[in-house]
Amino acid sequence: MKTMIKTIAIATAVLSMNTFANTAIESLSIETIKQELTPVQIEQVLKQWKASQLESLETKAQAISDRAPIEARRELVKQQIDHEYKQTLNAFGL
């Protein structure tokens, strides 16, 4: 289980980088993970990642410039987490 989480965590970190195109390494990482894990396992780990990120929502919102109201900062962080989650699901074809 720990190996699976590490594998997905690495893939998530690679996918979260803002780039204009997937590099060969990113594609290779995705394909390797797809071969190693079932779609259900990948989705489960990604859901755990999202839940973990949402648990730290307040901390992340507090780190954003305090010029914006805290409610807006919380919503921004939540949207960023949702976007990254959906983008990663899409990269894995889920």
22/17 Cα distance (integer angstroms): 10
Its domain, for residue 34, covers 2-91
| pLDDT of residue 5 exceeding 50 | yes
pLDDT at residue number 88: 86
The rounded radius of gyration (Å) of the Cα atoms in the chain is 15
Q: How many domains does the chain divide into?
A: 1
pLDDT at residue number 7: 56
Please give the helix or strand (H or E) that residue 46 lies within, else none: helix 39-55
Give tens-digit pLDDT for 20-45.
445 555 666 788 888 888 889 888 88
42/91 Cα distance (integer angstroms): 11
